[in-house]
Structure 1
């Protein structure tokens, strides 16, 4: 009985851990048609403000304490600026100006930045298997998101028109997606500091509200036709994206980020395009190429290597017991 209980708890823990990335991926599918019928800043503010209110209502029901000091509010304000205004603003503007594939590659490369900052600020040990996993993950999402012809030309001709890429960079929105990726990475790091002064669930709710207000004001000031073209399906897509793609997913993600290993948690972001592609295939009849399927496989391998890096090192030590392991394999002990 006790063994079954532990298995059930482990299953629910795994589901909770993966849920933010599942919800982000499916929210991308739900939002696909909405971007053509609304404006970026309005969409960003709509994803944040109602979601923040929902998170705070849940926090109040659960009896979680509100920020009580000026220092706590300052940390929440900084969190709102970086992960609310900057991340959602850059993301929404970038989605309007770049292809979904290339944009997803850039935005989902943020685990690399999180790993670098975590190893520096929190002394998290990444080790050789962690770095190998991160490299494989970047390769995997590149195969998923980049156009097949780019990759084929690079493989066959060993050339890539970098001048064309840089010329298009500031016109097509890739740089905005890069800024969004870096903003999310910094926000993931910030929650460790924020949670020292504020409950992480409460901080998540307030940072959505405080981050959504400037985006809404900017939309009302500089955009038109924000909601006039939205039909029922569009509103349903926005509602799903707000409730599950923002409120639930960010509440769970930042709660986990305040407690666990940031490198391991952030690596699961590689799952987001996998879920997006899978459900895009199921509901939108989007077809995956062989290269994309290979990218999905590499992504899953990378997540395994990053999250099991300590166990892999220990198993290698046992296997090679009595012999001398190369020094770089010992860095994770």
Structure 2
């Protein structure tokens, strides 16, 4: 659900609006974690999570486009992605100390590929696929370093800290995107974007410094 909603919505929404809605995921996961994981974020943590979302909204505000005939459909798919990722994080946290890390991640990716592959066959896009060298290399990098490795590291971290504390770092994804563009591609950032980066950094600091007990396991 997460991957399908994210990639499909990318063709329907402006990047700014998609980024803002996608980053409702830490908020959704925090609410679900309160009920299903008995995680009780402090007041400072909740303020920090809210500030992080505000920072992302500020960062993305310049690229939000509302005059889009596909906006409602795109928002729906992004929400599906955010909810799917939030639910999966809750489930992963529940089994983090009970199963082998590679079994959990490997089986998750393999089983998740089945409905995605079926959708691809149903839509008839498989015949248009061109296996060029560039495509295979890009897909390999995305598979190994963009999916498999982060999933394993994420599962490893879930054994050691509350979900809401880890999830707040997902706000850094658009921040890193801006900073990489600034450093390596000499893209100029507006004062509003710098403000959003600053607020996001404060939010992560607030959540990280909150006094909830960290869960340590062997």
2:104 maps to 1:203: yes
Where 2:11 maps in the other structure, the secondary structure is helix
Q: For structure 2, which runs of at least 5 residues remain unmatched after alignment?
A: 213-218
Does residue 278 (structure 1) correspond to residue 179 (structure 2)? The answer is: yes
Does the alignment pair 1:240 with 2:141? yes
Candidates 186, 191, 196, aligned match of 2:87: 186
Once the 2 structures are TM-superposed, how far is the Cα of residue 272 of structure 1 from its aligned partner? 1.0
Distance 1:234 1:298, change over 3 A: farther
The aligned runs of 1:77-92 (5 Å cut-off) are: 86-92=1-7
- Could you tell me whether the CA contact under 8 Å between 2:58 and 2:192 is conserved in 1? yes
Decide whether aligned partners of structure 1 residues 214 and 296 sit closer, same or farther in structure 2, where only a CA change above 3 A counts: same
Confirm or deny that 1:140 pairs with 2:55: yes
Q: Which residue of 2 aligns with 1:129?
A: 44
What is the CA distance between 1:233 and its match in structure 2? 4.0
Alignment correspondent of 1:227:
129
Cα distance in 2 for partners of 1:99, 1:126 equals 32
Does the CA-based 8 Å contact 2:165-2:207 persist in structure 1?
A: yes
- 1:215 corresponds to which of 116, 129, 137: 116
Structure 2: how far apart are the matches of 1:174 and 1:199? 35
Which residue number in structure 2 is paired with residue 169 of structure 1?
A: 71
Structure 1 Cα separation of the partners of residues 41 and 17 of structure 2: 27
Once residues 242 and 275 of structure 1 are traced to their aligned partners in structure 2, the CA distance between those partners, rounded to angstroms, is 20
SS at match of 1:88: helix
For 2:211, what is the secondary structure of its paired residue? helix
Name the count of aligned residue pairs. 211
Give the Å deviation of 1:286.
3.9
1:114 correspondence with 2:29? yes
Residues 22-64 of structure 1: per-residue CA shift (max 9 Å, x gap): xxxxxxxxxxxxxxxxxxxxxxxxxxxxxxxxxxxxxxxxxxx
- Is there any run of 5+ residues in structure 1 with no aligned partner, and where? 1-85, 151-160, 312-333
Name the structure with the higher helix share: 1
1:299 aligns with 2:208: no
RMSD between aligned alpha carbons? 2.4
- Which residue pairs with 2:215 in the alignment? none
Q: Which residue of 2 aligns with 1:100?
A: 15
- In structure 1, the residue matched to 2:158 is 257
SS in 2 for 1:309: coil
Cα distance in structure 2, aligned partners of 1:189 and 1:252: 16
> 1:234: Cα distance to partner?
4.0
Q: Distance in 1 between matches of 2:50 and 2:41?
A: 12
Deviations 1:202-261 (A, max 9, x none): 211100011012211221231325532x65444433222111110101111122123321
Output the CA distance in 2 between the equivalents of 1:278 and 1:126.
29
CA distance in 1: counterparts of 2:97 and 2:63, whole angstroms: 45
TM-score (ref. length: structure 1) = 0.58
| Maintained 8 Å contact 1:191/1:258 | no
C-alpha distance 120-293 of structure 1, shift in aligned 2 (>3 A): same
Which consecutive aligned stretches of 4+ in structure 1 deviate over 6 angstroms post-superposition?
none
Is the CA contact (8 Å cut-off) linking 2:96 and 2:158 kept in structure 1?
Answer: no
